[in-house]
Structure 1
Amino acid sequence: MTTAGQVAAFAGVIALAAASPGPDFAVVVRRSVVAGRRHGVVAGLGVATGVFVWSVAAAMGVAAVLRASAVAFTVVRLVGAAYLLWLGVSALLAARRGGGATGIPTEGGTRARLGVSFRDGVLCNILNPKCGVFFMAVLPQFVPMDGHPTDVLLLSSVAVAVTVAWFTVVATLVAALRRALARPRVRRALDALTGAVLVSLGLRLAATG
C-alpha cells in the first residue's frame, strides 16, 4: 500500500512538472487573458482531465504500448503538434488583427463558451504522448510491485488535485492582471508571445521522437 510519505513525494513531483513552462501553462494563461479567471480555471480542469487519463493509462500499460509502437506514438505526437500549431497560429493572427483568436471567445461571462476552454486544456495535454511517458516513468517509483488498483487511483487523484490547484493559482493571478493585459498594445504583444511559444512547442513536439 502506498504510504503517506510516498503520496507527499509524488505530489511534489507533480507540482514541479505542472509548474514547468509548457503547452499546458501557455493555454491556461491565454484562456485567462482572453476570457477571464473562470475560463482559465476550466482550462486547468481540462489539463487535469488529461493528466488523470494519462496516469491511469500508464498504470494499465497503455502508455507502454504507445511508447513501444513507433507508429502509434508518432501519430499521437504529430496530431498533438498540429493542435499546438493551430492554437499558436490562431494567437498570432489575433495579434496581427488586434482582436481575439479564431475560435476563441474574446469576452468572459455567459457569452463565452466554457467548453472551448475545457477542450483546449484536455486536447493540449492528452495529445502530448510525452505526458504518458512521464507517468510511465514516475508511477512505478511510487506504486509498490504488489500495489492495489486503489493505489493508482489515489495517486491519479493526487495528480489531478495538484494540477487543478496550480492552474487555479495561475488563472487567478493572470486574471487579476487582466485589465492591464487587455490594453490593445499589451494584448497584441501577449498574443504574439503566446502564439510564438505555442508554435515553437508544436514544432519541437513534431521534431522530437
Structure 2
Amino acid sequence: MLAAMAPGPDFLIVSKNALVSRRRAGMTCAAGITTGVFCWAIATALGVAGLLAASAVAFTVVKLAGAAYLLVLGVRTLLTARRGRYTAPGPAAGTGSAFHQGLVCNLLNPKVAAFFLALLPQFVSEGAGAVDHLLLVVVASGVTLVWFLVLAKVVGALRRVLSATRVRRAIDAVMGTLLVGLGVRIALP
C-alpha cells in the first residue's frame, strides 16, 4: 500500500488526468496504471523482470524510454500552462488517452520491476505454485487500483476549486515541471 501511495510519475499522471479531464479520466488512468502493475507482477512471477534487471542494456533502454515519455508529458503540460487557454472538457473527454498514459507510464518505469523483484519473493514460499503467485499479483493490483481511484475521486472532487484559470495554470506549471524533473532524474545515472 505504501509503495502505491508513494508520490511519483503514476501519482502525477492520475492527478493531472482527474484535474484536466475530470474524475472519470483519472479513474481510467488508474485502471491503466493497475494494468501496468498487473503486467509487471506477472513478469516478475515468470522471471521476465529478473532478466530485465540482470541486463544493464535492457534496463537502460526501458529507463530511457520512460524518461522520454515523462519529458514529453511534462513539456506538453508546460506548454498548456504557458498558453493558458482552457476549455471545459466533456464528461468522457480524455478517457482513452488517460488509460494509455497510465499504462505506458507504469510499464516504462523499471523501478516498478525492481520493486516487484525485491518484494514478491519475500511473500512466496519456496514451494509456492502458480496460484500463490497469482494471488499476490491480484492483491498488488487491487491495492494499486483502490489507491489511485481514491486519489482520482479526491482530485475530481476538488476540481471546481482547482479549475480556475489562474490556479489551473499554476498547477499545470508545477505538474509539468515535476514530470520533466522526474524524466531528467530517471534519465541520469
Using the size of structure 1 for normalisation, the TM-score is: 0.88
Percent of aligned pairs sharing the same letter: 53
Between the aligned partners of 1:129 and 1:67, the Cα distance in structure 2 is 8
Q: Which amino acid aligns with 1:158?
A: V
Q: Which residue of 2 aligns with 1:46?
A: 32
Match of 2:66 among 75, 80, 100: 80
Between the aligned partners of 1:166 and 1:196, the Cα distance in structure 2 is 24
Q: Which residue of 2 aligns with 1:94?
A: 80
Q: Which residue of 2 aligns with 1:193?
A: 174
Q: How does 1:60-209 map to 2 (within 5 A)?
A: 60-99=46-85, 107-110=89-92, 112-208=93-189
Q: CA deviation at 1:31?
A: 0.0
Between the aligned partners of 2:55 and 2:89, the Cα distance in structure 1 is 43
- Please, which runs of 5 or more residues in structure 1 have no aligned partner? 1-14
Q: Which amino acid aligns with 1:109?
A: P
Say whether 1:29 aligns with 2:11.
no
Q: CA deviation at 1:99?
A: 3.2
Query: Helix, strand or coil for the counterpart of 2:127?
Result: coil
- Please, which runs of 5 or more residues in structure 2 have no aligned partner? none
Between the aligned partners of 1:71 and 1:65, the Cα distance in structure 2 is 11
Between the aligned partners of 2:137 and 2:145, the Cα distance in structure 1 is 12
Query: Helix, strand or coil for the counterpart of 1:109?
Result: coil
Using the size of structure 2 for normalisation, the TM-score is: 0.97
Q: Which amino acid aligns with 1:54?
A: W
What's the RMSD between the two structures over aligned residues? Answer: 1.2
Between the aligned partners of 1:190 and 1:108, the Cα distance in structure 2 is 20
Between the aligned partners of 1:115 and 1:19, the Cα distance in structure 2 is 24
Q: Which amino acid aligns with 2:78?
A: L
Q: CA deviation at 1:108?
A: 3.6
Q: CA deviation at 1:80?
A: 0.5
How many residues in Structure 1 have an aligned counterpart in Structure 2? Answer: 189
Q: Which amino acid aligns with 1:107?
A: P
Q: Which amino acid aligns with 2:89?
A: E
Q: Which amino acid aligns with 2:125?
A: P
Q: CA deviation at 1:106?
A: 5.7
User: Deviation above 3 Å: which 4+ runs of structure 1?
Assistant: none
Match of 2:2 among 5, 16, 20: 16
Q: Aligned pair in 2 of structure 1 residues 201, 62: CA closer, same or farther (>3 Å)?
A: same
Between the aligned partners of 2:135 and 2:168, the Cα distance in structure 1 is 40
Q: Which amino acid aligns with 1:30?
A: K
Q: Which residue of 2 aligns with 1:10?
A: none
Between the aligned partners of 2:66 and 2:85, the Cα distance in structure 1 is 25
